[in-house]
Structure 1
Amino acid sequence: MKLVKSPIALALCSCLATSLPLWANEVDQEEDLQPDVVVYGQALDPLTSSSSLDAEAIRQRPTGDGNLTDLLRTNPAVQFSNSSSSMNQGEIRPESISIHGSRAYQNSFRLDGMNLNNDLNPASPNLGVTLTNLGSDTQGFYLDSRLIDSITVYDANIPVEFGGFMGGSIEAQSRSWRGERGGQIYYRHTQASWNRTHIDRQLNFDSSENSRAHPSRFQPDYRKHSYGLNVETGLTDQLGVVFSLSRRESTIPSQHVGGLSVDLDEAGEHLVMFNRADQVKNQTRTSDQAFAKFSWYPQGGTELHWSTTYTGYTSSQFLNGSANSDYDEEHRGLGSQLQWQQQTRWGQSDLHLSWQQLEDERDSAQKYSVQLEDLSDWEHRRTYDSGGPGDLISRQENLTARSTFRWHPLVWGEWEQRVRVGAEVTRTEAEYERRAPFFRNGFIMTQGWDGEPNLMGGQVEAFFAGRHRADFTQTAVFAENTLSYGRWSFRPGVRVDRDDFVERTNLAPRFVASLDVFGDQRTRVTAGANRYYGRSMLTYALYEAQNAGLHLCYWGCTPNSMDNDWSPARDFEGMADLHTPYSDELSLSVSQIWGPTLWRVSYVQRDNRDEVRSRPKYPGTSDPIEARIRTFDNGGRSEHETLSLTVSHLDGVALGATTHHWTLTAAWQDSFSNTPKDQGYAFFDPNLNLNMDYVDYRGEIIRARDLPATDFNLPLRINAELISVYEPSQLSFYQTWHWGSSRDQATRHQNDYTTLPDSDQQVLKYERVRYSSTFRWDTKVRWEPSWAQGFGAALEVTNLLNNRNATDAFVHSNQVYRSYAPGRQFWLQLDYNF
């Protein structure tokens, strides 16, 4: 892929770079030339609903596996998925989050303004390992939270500069050199014997219970290590560098159940059977990060930052009970960004140029699979397998140029205005590749008339080799004006996006107004009405490729051979009429300063429209080929409400030599959706008589849009944080208490349907499952005494009281079990600062 040679992208970059000096005039020569004159980054706007954690706040909090989302557990706008479970604590990938009821893949992640989103397959539909998809994540870069300088969540009344989301925008800022020299080396560790696991008492919690579809669901044993290095230093008086390396790794010993296995002979034509012994094999997870950032301050008012980021994630697994089924999955992200900030007589100009490449790859030890269905004993049917899920590669490459200009405040009498304008363009190239054909060979064993086993060749499924590419350009222009008059503040703005994949222009107006009620900055009322358009449609552009190569041979088939009588099995038809999903937001908040405390009550309503869903293309057909074909439409919709209260102490409370900071948050939310929120982009039910406008919930037929959310649906949450610092011993003590109310959840444990009265149509059948309230107490103690010459230690304990908190339910071996949040967990960290 030669994205950087795209003539459109190069021409646009050249245009933006050339136009910048038109905005940037000569600066005052008497300005100070020291590198700490200009603070890079956007200050938090009081009209915007956002919350931020700086480096010190991150250092004081439990960081767990070190992902960005681990820092957001007390944010009232953020909900975590109910699927997080105590049974797979060996995993280190980021957890999914929802902001104001959005789907997990409809948030935007950025680092220093650079897009971190993964749009190839950002939402796995919880169906386990599949032959056509690579399990990926909403974040294209698995950043280590301990290596960033700050993180900000924008959740309502979001400025026009931010686009490509229906939930919120998570902005991480890396550390820039500011004339200092120093660094840190750290090591962290936890393991299964240090932690407690809560499980359903009816469940056999053993790794031997892992299935082919869910090869790592049960992880009773694991060991985790994290270590890293951060360094910053000056190269000249005006040039410096920040450099960091980190690795997070997990080892998960798992049972590989033996027994009778099947394979093909050396000629690849006939089935052979053999016995395989039980064994314990290690599954592994590894996440690496390398980051370097050069910062140059050539003159007062000018900053130039060039950074390069690499993150890599590798997962080594096997399909339990299947011979020769080892496979590796790798997710790699590489990005580079140039940031230029220039202070002029009229304002501040910013130019961002960035390039990212994301790649997901799966490599299977055996390049085909074999399945034998033993039907010789109808009462005890058995299936024997060998082989993994096959090799796949998917790539995404982006080249982005973004330029903004913020005028200095203009004052006319009592009026003051701050105007900001900008433009952004992203050229995307993506591909989905299968380098060699993958065969799934099926055999059937029955009992003959003479009582002897009879072996027959079944059908062969072949995914032909091929490559599918998708190229498109996204452009945006935006403008907003912050107006102040007396006690009033207004910020009208508009963002216009154009995506040449859906070939539509999306207009997103945004408006927020605020009143300083008494003119003393102590009581403020803020209201807003905004529209946000969703993430890139790239995954749909590539969906055609996933099953486009599937062909079937039904009879007289030769295993692992292209010389068969193939029938194409395409399951997809075009989606030329798709629109970009969007969210309409109404918000109202009141903030009040009482003494040393700040109180804020906020209400946010989101109406999400044009969400993409899939359905049978030919409902009611009797043609087996037509029955496989699905189509996409914009029939998905959801509604969400959030009411939250935040109380915080503006200044620390001093008691002797100890300073205390506390925050209390409470959030109530309610969500409804006509499509399951625990599924991915392409949730599909093959029922040809399915009516998607209604569902059966608790034995009653209701409209699908009135169905309570199936995930991210905790109605009431209360969080309290307390940070205590004892300066004489450099001892900090962080505590947080999480309480979640009881709830009812709409759940489909089995694939059940209900037939509508006086109709042959069916609807999805949901049950109501009741979950009790939950409570968790997390704490972290950090000690860094001055006499230790830079050495420090920290102990994190989550769920200190080891409470048993049920979160979800799942089906295993045709039985329904409850899943629980992790019990008491310990992390130990040692570090050295120099």
Structure 2
Amino acid sequence: MRALMSLTPLIAILAGLHAASVSANHPPSVTAATPCRDNSTDTACPQVLPAIKVRGQALPAGLQVLNHELIEQLPTGEGNLADLLRINPAVDFSRSSRGSANSGVMRPEEFSFHGQAYYQNLFMIDGIGVNNDINPASGNSDFGTPGLTRPTGGSSPQGYYLDVGLLDQVEIYDSNVPASFGGFTGGVVSAKMKRYDGGDFVDLRYGIQRDEWESFHIAPRDVDDFDNAAGYDAEFTPIYRKDSYSLSAQQGLTARSGLTLGLSRRSSAFLQTTPDGDPVYFNDRIDNIHARVDTQWSERLDTGISLRYSERHHDGITSPVYDDPYTKDHSGIGLGGNLEYQLAAGQTFTLDMGLDRNEDTLDSARSISVIDLSSGEKYGGFGDIDQHQTRLSLAPKLELRPVHNGNLEHRITLGGELRYVDARYSRPENVDNYFYLASGSLSRHSRYARGDVAVNYLSQALYVDDRIRWHNVDLRLGLRADYNGWLGNLDFAPRLSADWDLFGNGHTRLLAGANRYYGRSFLQYAINDALQGLYTQTTYRPDGTVLRIKQGVDSSGQLDLSTPYSDELMLGWVQQAGPFNSTLKLVRRDSHDGVRKVDHNDLTYYDNGGLSNTTSITWELDHADHPLRIGNSATVARLALGWKDSTSNSQDDDGYEGKIDTNPVFYQGRLIDSSDLPAWDYNIPLSVSLSSITQVATWNLTWSNVVNLRNGGVIARDTRDNTADGYDIYDDVALNDLVTLDTKLQWKPKLWSDHQGYLMVEVSNVFDDVISTKTGDSQYISDLYTPGRKVWLEMGLRF
């Protein structure tokens, strides 16, 4: 109830806007002024209010643009990319992604667009795709026991864990995505790193978060384990400290070129307990480096060269039995180049280039493990593993000058992508496991041999996009062709959309779209079964002679996969009324050929049995062009609602490693196909986000608030019972609703000369409301709760 009361002031803001629109457009106490530079410290200079959407040039209804002012002002917790997307109604997060018991962990969250697989989103930096395609659906095994006959877990589809403080702009596409984007079935997150804008400055910041500033919520049966930080898998992190350090700087090099530099480290140290009962502190950190030189060679030629680096590094312990420590890294390093040239005939040519290496590594203390029943000794580790992909990308694009034919105008864009990918799994040395009997004799020796598995291939894409204007109607006719040299698939994806300006004044627009999106394929498919062939187990008799030798074999069938795809139908209505901008959208996604694992006739292989269907309705309302001014303050507010109905034949968290029940199931009193069951995760049926940003320019204060409501919804759970005919019985599991308020207050006082201070306090879940995310009814499974109240402090200096 307290959280619901927090809606009141924000609703009042929205309700009073229309009456205040005249004064908002002509405020008596504020005169027109030239906007200040971003690095200005002049207190007399009015702050420029951020706009979630750029007006003047109408944005496509499926695109959201976040500029760097808004990025800084939104409550973003620890500064991860996922935190920016919480105000987007098309985006959903896993119910289990955040927990109150283990908030010391630094891993960023994953997210889904319109119910699609979270590992099938496209991530881009400065025009180049930077996804990690090694084993992106394996994030659940972050601190778990490493696998020796499967790829290392704890990975992510995000090749770079970006610090949002280094971003200049983020474009988020959820529907009607242009043909220039490919390799996704969900959505597109295109980040533009900061670049030199003509002002020289240095910005230093330090932030801190501590366990004493968090309200924990733990199941009664787990309180003792939590208080004592029982375990080594980061399930409980009662004692932690998080620190963040960042440096951002810009410096002009010549009259036409400048350097941008960004460095950041976000780290966490939290208490754990070894299998022997000894306390140990784990370190979990994320580092980012961004360097870029931009040059304007002439009025027609601009170039940019950049270096990007991101690494997450954390500790772990091998297992309860083999207690050697290990470290895991998820990293990306890359070089980027951007060229834009205005041709004499009026065309614009751009070329984006990238050379990126993404890596998931395991570094263990030893590559030998022993259980000796005669001495009681148990020790060892699982050796080292290196998984990496190197990608060379070229993305040329040519925008032709507009062509007019009577009332028709054509704006044609031609482009393509060329990607060479080299992906490898490497075990540099043998890993040996020995089991000794109580008599002291060797009973079993297992060897996981050194070896490499590699896949390298060339992918190509061509696309054409024709934007046609006829009177008040804008049409986009696009076609994209992708060829995957590994799987040998040639895929054609039409992209069609229409935008009708009903009265010709931009106030009322009707939208429609029909699009197909093809996803990506992953190294995991190729290496799983090859690793089985590197396994040998030798069993001995008590006298030391060999009893038998078991050699692992490749049990897979032939890898013959189609590319997963999602078909989209979209209808929309955009309305401007008084100070308000409203966008209503209906999006239907039918997804096919999802990759899943199958066991059949003693063979294990992948097939394209995955199916899902999602219907989404989103509504967004803002007044970004008409801030509400009260005294010296200016406030913009935004309301976003999302409703979703999602079904899927995948009923687990294993992604492409999950197996699908192809038999009918008994659900809600009748037999249905498993694909008609509610989606297992990323299926919050109703979400509401209400955000506001208030600026008091004369005091250099910015106050931001975000209220989020998440309807719990229903999932279907296998009861483990069967009908008389042998069909599995599924029952509904209802989950609770959650309302949270996050608030952030920033103060940028002018200190002296051209120096500006920075103080920030952010409180997430102000009213400390939580729900259980438990999805089963077993009494042996504890309740897990969403995070409680947290406080984050940050200070800095800009000069």
Measured at CA, do residues 332 and 553 of structure 1 come closer, stay the same or move farther in structure 2, by a change above 3 Å? same
Query: Given the superposition, is the C-alpha separation of residues 334 and 513 from structure 1 closer, same or farther in structure 2, using an over 3 Å criterion?
Result: same
Residues 368 and 489 of structure 1, relative CA distance in 2, 3 Å threshold: same
Q: Which amino acid aligns with 1:535?
A: R
- Choose which of 215, 231, 235 in structure 1 pairs with 2:233: 215
Identity %, equivalent residues:
30
Task: Indicate the SS of the match to 1:832.
Answer: strand
Q: What displacement does 1:370 show?
A: 3.4
Other-structure match for 1:269 = none
Which of the residues 408, 417, 426 maps onto 2:401?
A: 408
Following TM superposition, by how much is the alpha carbon of 1:569 offset from its aligned partner in structure 2, in angstroms? Answer: 2.5
**Partner in structure 1 of residue 761 of structure 2:** 795
Q: 1:635 to 1:321 in 2, by over 3 A?
A: closer
How far off is 1:655 after superposition? 0.8
SS for the counterpart of 1:599 is strand
- 1:118 is aligned, of 122, 132, 135, to 132
Q: Match for residue 796 of structure 2?
A: 831
The one of 464, 467, 474 equivalent to 2:459 is 474
Give 2:499's match in structure 1, choosing from 511, 514, 518: 514
CA contact (8 A) 2:331 2:360 kept: yes
Other-structure match for 2:120: 106
- Structure 2 distance, partners of 1:522, 1:565, is 79
Equivalent-residue separation in structure 2 for 1:419 and 1:637 (angstroms): 35
CA contact (8 A) 2:666 2:723 kept: no
SS in 1 for 2:140: coil
Do the aligned partners of residues 384 and 809 (structure 1) sit closer, same or farther apart at CA in structure 2, a change above 3 Å counting? farther
Instruction: Summarize the alignment of residues 200-211 of structure 1 with structure 2, pairs less than 5 Å apart.
Output: 200-204=219-223, 206=225
Q: Secondary structure at the match of 1:206?
A: helix
Deviation string 1:251-287 (CA, Å, 9 cap, x unpaired) is: 01112242xxxxxxxxxxxxxxxxxxx3110111111
Structure 2 runs not aligned, ≥5 long: 1-53
Q: Quickly say closer, same or farther: Cα 1:557–1:707, change in 2 above 3 A.
A: farther
Shift of 1:642: 0.8
Deviation, structure 1 residue 435: 1.2
Residue 607 (structure 2) aligns with: 633
Aligned match of 1:308: 307
Give the whole-Å Cα distance in 2 for the aligned partners of 1:405 and 1:508: 20
The 3-state SS of whatever aligns with 1:47 is: coil
Contact kept, 8 Å, 1:659 with 1:724, in 2: the verdict is yes
Gaps in structure 1 of 5+ consecutive residues: 1-41, 259-277, 375-382, 446-453, 619-625, 686-690
Aligned to 2:31: none
Tell whether the 8 Å contact from 2:307 to 2:335 is kept in structure 1 after alignment. Answer: yes
Partners of 1:204 and 1:287 lie apart in 2 by 29
SS of 2:532's equivalent in the other structure is helix
CA offsets, 1:212-269, max 9 Å, x none? 8x711221111100101111111111121101111111101112242xxxxxxxxxxx
The answer to which of 798-807 and 566-575 deviates more is 566-575
Partner SS for 1:98: strand
Tell whether 2:743 aligns with 1:768. Answer: no
> For residues 458 and 200 of structure 1, what CA distance do their matches in structure 2 show?
42
Offset at 1:55?
0.7
Please give the alpha-carbon distance, in whole angstroms, between the structure 1 residues aligned to 2:542 and 2:421.
Answer: 41
Whether the 8 Å contact between 1:148 and 1:172 is mirrored in structure 2 is: yes
AA aligned opposite 1:171? S
Contact in 2 for aligned 1:644/1:665 (Cα 8 Å)? yes
Query: 2: CA distance between counterparts of 1:524 and 1:148?
Result: 31
User: What do residues 607-659 of structure 1 show as CA deviations (whole Å, max 9, x unaligned)?
Assistant: 110001111131xxxxxxx3xx4111111110111101100013211111000
Evaluate the alpha carbon distance shift between residue 221 and residue 602 of structure 1 in structure 2; reply closer, same or farther with a 3 A threshold. same
- In the superposition, relative to structure 1, how do residues 328 and 594 fare at CA in structure 2: closer, same or farther (>3 Å)? same
Q: Please, which of 687, 707, 720 is the counterpart of residue 717 of structure 1?
A: 687
Q: TM-score, normalised by structure 2?
A: 0.87
1:256 and 1:767, CA in 2 relative to 1: closer, same or farther beyond 3 A? farther
Deviation at 1:49, TM superposition (A): 0.7
**Does residue 667 of structure 1 match 2:642?**
yes
Answer with 480-489 or 696-705: which moved more: 696-705
Q: Determine which of 233, 237, 241 is the counterpart of 2:255.
A: 237
Query: What TM-score do the two structures reach when normalised by structure 1?
Result: 0.84
Cα gap change, 1:538 to 1:372, in 2 (>3 Å): same
1:559-638 map, 5 Å = 565-570=548-553, 572-618=555-601, 626=602, 629-638=603-612
After TM superposition, give the deviation of residue 677 of structure 1 in Å. Answer: 5.5
The separation in 1 between residues aligned to 2:703 and 2:117, in whole angstroms, is 35
Match of 2:747 in 1: 783
Task: Report the CA distance shift for 1:333/1:810 in structure 2 as closer, same or farther (over 3 A).
Answer: farther
- The 5 A counterparts of 1:392-541 are 392-442=385-435, 458-541=443-526
Determine the C-alpha separation between the residues in 2 that align with 1:556 and 1:140: 49
Paired residues of 2:596 and 2:657 also in contact (CA < 8 A)? yes
Give the 3 Å change call, closer, same or farther, for CA 676–720 of structure 1 in structure 2. Answer: same
Q: Distance in 1 between matches of 2:293 and 2:310?
A: 18
CA distance in 2, matches of 1:664, 1:369: 56
Q: CA deviation at 1:151?
A: 1.0
Q: Equivalent residue for 1:30?
A: none
How much does 1:361 deviate? 1.1
CA RMSD between the two structures: 2.6
The Cα shift of 1:161 comes to 0.5
Amino acid at match of 2:633: T
Output the amino acid matched with 2:145: V
Q: Deviations over 1:527-581 (max 9, x none)?
A: 000000002343323333343312233444999x9x9953222364143321010
After superposition, the C-alpha distances for 1:106-128 in whole angstroms (9 at most, x for unaligned) are 00111111222000010117364
Find the aligned partners of 2:444 and 2:132 in 1 and give their Cα distance: 36
Name the CA distance, whole Å, in 1 between partners of 2:646 and 2:229: 33
| 2:507 partner letter | R
5 Å matches for 1:152-301? 152-204=171-223, 206=225, 215-258=233-276, 278-301=277-300
- Give the counterpart letter for 1:108 in structure 2: L
Tell me by how many angstroms 1:443 deviates.
5.2
Whole-angstrom distance in 2 between the partners of 1:581 and 1:285: 34
Cα distance change, pair 612–372 in 1 and its aligned pair in 2 (3 A):
farther
- Contact 2:618-2:641 at 8 Å conserved across structures: yes
What is the SS of the residue equivalent to 1:90?
coil
Equivalent residue number for residue 69 of structure 2? 56
SS in 1 for 2:391: strand
- In structure 1, C-alpha distance between the alignment counterparts of 2:453 and 2:542, rounded to whole Å: 27
SS in 1 for 2:655: coil
Q: Distance in 2 between matches of 1:702 and 1:413?
A: 55
Q: Distance in 2 between matches of 1:203 and 1:731?
A: 42
Q: 1:113 to 1:572 in 2, by over 3 A?
A: farther
**Which moved further from structure 2: 601-610 or 431-440?**
431-440
Tell me, in whole angstroms, the C-alpha distance in 1 between the residues paired with 2:560 and 2:320.
Answer: 44
For 1:766 and 1:391, the matched residues in 2 are separated by 42
Query: How many pairs are equivalent?
Result: 734
Match of 1:7 in 2: none
CA apart distance, 1:796: 0.4
